[in-house]
Amino acid sequence: MQVDYHRKFIKNLAKLPQNIRESFRQRLGLFLNDKFHPLLDNHQLHGEFVGCRSINITGDYRAIFTEENRVITFLRIGTHHQLFGK
């Protein structure tokens, strides 16, 4: 499996506090070992992000990604409110 990062994801990640960036790295390791580990709450999205999936990074932070031909592309990262407006 290959992992790529959209430029917007990289920009969002760089603006986050160090502890959130570290949480992402930890969850990414978990994701690479088991994409559906219960801590990740990996689930399909709809609406604006139809065709994408989301994983939990912390209680409020999420990462949105797509998977195509064994290539995972992380698109966005942020709080639930920043990403979904709810």
Domain ranges of the chain: 2-84
The answer to whether 82 touches 60, Cβ cutoff 8 Å, is no
Asked whether the whole model's pTM tops 0.75, one would answer yes
For every one of its 86 residues, what pLDDT tens digit does the chain have, with 9 covering 90 and above?
A: 899 999 999 999 999 999 999 999 999 999 999 999 999 999 999 988 999 999 999 989 999 999 999 999 999 999 999 998 86
Q: Does domain 2-84 have CATH number 3.40.50.880?
A: no
Strand order in the sheet with 43-44: 2-5, 71-79, 61-68, 53-56, 43-44
Question: Helices in 1-86 by DSSP H: which ranges?
Answer: 7-15, 18-33, 80-84
Q: Could you tell me which residues are beta bridge partners of residue 72? A: 3, 67
The pLDDT score that the predictor gives to residue 8 is: 95
